[in-house]
Amino acid sequence: MNHLKNQICGALVLLMLSWQLSARCADGELAEYAPVTVDMPLVQVSEHVWFVQGEPGVATDNEGFISNAGFIVTGAGVVVFDALGSPSLGSTLLKKIRTVTSEPVVRVIVSHYHADHIYGLQVFEDLGAEILAPAGADKYLASPQAGERLEERRFTLDPWVNDNTRLVYPDRLLEEGAQFKLGDVEFIVTTVGNAHSDGDLTLFVVPDRVLFSGDIIFEGRVPFLGDSNTARWVRVLERMEREKLVALVPGHGGVAESPNEAIGLTRRYLAFLRDKMGAAVGEFEPFDAAYAEIDWGEFSKLPAFDEANRRNAYQVYLSMEAELLADK
C-alpha cells in the first residue's frame, strides 16, 4: 500500500513539474516587452537556416537593432545564434521564429559577450533553452564593464532595455568548441579565443555549408582586433577557407555574396599585419618607424582603415613582442 502511495505521489510531483515547465514556456513566449518599431525582415539563407540583419550604426541606433542573429530549424528543435541587443528585439526574433516553425527553441549559441548580441538572451532563457558561449564570456560577466554597460543601455535604450533587463549567464562555457547533431542537422562550434572579444566562436551548419561567423569577419572592411590572438584567428580563417562555404552570415552586415573571398580578405589582412610587425619586432625596429615604412596596398582602401588600422598594427606589434619573448 505504501509502495503504491509513493508511486502516486511521485507521479503527481512529475505532473506538477511538467505543468510548471509548460507554464514557464508559455509565459516566456507571451512575456510582454516594450514593442519595437524597427523593421526586422526574415531572410532564408538555406534549407535549414534563417537570419535577421541589423542596420548599420552605433550601438543605440535603430532601437538597438544593429547586429545580426539567426536560427536553424532541425526537425527536433530550433538552434538560435545570438540574441540581439534588447529583450524587446529578442522577443521579436522569437515571433519571427514562430512564423517558420512551432518547434521548441532548445539551444542558443552566443558568438561573444558584447551587449548588442546578448541582451535578448533572457527571452530564450525563460523558455528553458540551453545557452552556450565561448570561454571568456565569464571574464566579461565578472568585470565592472558588464554592469556599467547594462546601466548605460537602460538609459540610452529605454524602454527596450530597462530595470527588468538582466545579464544572462551561459549554461556551458566552451573551451575547445563542440560538435553535435540535432534532428537532421549536424553542427560544428569552433572557439576562436580572444579574437574580437574576450572569447569568440563560430557555428558551422554542416549540411547547408553555412557559417555564422559572429564578429570575427567583417564583410569588406578592416576588422577591429581588440585584444585578439591573431595567430589563432589566422589558423581558424585558413580552415574556414578550405570549407568552400555556400554562405557566410557575419555578426553585422549582409550575407557575404562570396564567402570565401570575405574570409580570404580578413585572413590576408591579419597575415600581413603579423608578417610586417613580426619583421619589425625581429629587427628591434620601433613601431612608429616600422608603421610609416609599410605600403598598406589594397587594405588602405577598405572602410574603417583610418579608424582601426594603426591601433590594430600596434596591438599585433605588442603581441609579436610577447610571442618572441615566449619563444626564448
d(CA 77, CA 103): 5
Map grid coordinates 598598406 to a residue.
296
302 pLDDT tier (thresholds 50, 70, 90): confident
25 pLDDT above the threshold of 70 = no
pLDDT at 24: 42
87 burial (CB, 10 Å; 0-12 / 13-18 / 19+) is buried
Handedness of CA 264, 266, 268, 274 (dihedral sign): negative
pLDDT at 70: 97
Please choose, from the candidates 143, 91, 93, 135, the residue with its C-alpha nearest in 3D space to the C-alpha of residue 110: 135
- Please check whether residue 324 is in contact with residue 281, taking contact to mean a CB–CB distance below 8 angstroms: yes
What is the rounded average pLDDT of the residues 251-267? 83
pLDDT at 15: 35
pLDDT tens, position by position, 189-240 = 988 766 566 678 889 999 999 999 887 776 667 777 766 778 877 887 887 7
d(CA 2, CA 100): 49
pLDDT at 222: 79
d(CA 18, CA 202): 34
pTM for this predicted structure: 0.75
What is the rounded average pLDDT of the residues 239-243? 78
pLDDT at 291: 96
What phi, psi does 100 have (nearest 5°)?
-105, -40
50 pLDDT above the threshold of 90 = yes
d(CA 52, CA 259): 18
The average confidence (pLDDT) of the chain is 85
To 10 degrees, what angle do helices 230-242 and 259-282 make? 150
d(CA 85, CA 108): 15
pLDDT tens, position by position, 88-113 = 999 999 999 999 999 999 999 999 88
Q: How far is CA 33 from the centre of its chain?
A: 23
CA distances from 157 to 31, 82, 85 (A): 19, 19, 9
What is the rounded average pLDDT of the residues 239-266? 83
- Please check whether residue 215 is in contact with residue 202, taking contact to mean a CB–CB distance below 8 angstroms: no
Please choose, from the candidates 61, 218, 78, 214, the residue with its C-alpha nearest in 3D space to the C-alpha of residue 137: 214
Tell me the one-letter amino acid at 110. Answer: V
What is the rounded average pLDDT of the residues 29-54? 90
- Please check whether residue 209 is in contact with residue 245, taking contact to mean a CB–CB distance below 8 angstroms: yes
Give the other-Cβ count within 10 Å of 272's Cβ.
Answer: 17
Higher per-residue confidence, 251 vs 44: 44
Give bridge partners of residue 319 from the DSSP assignment.
Answer: none
d(CA 123, CA 83): 9
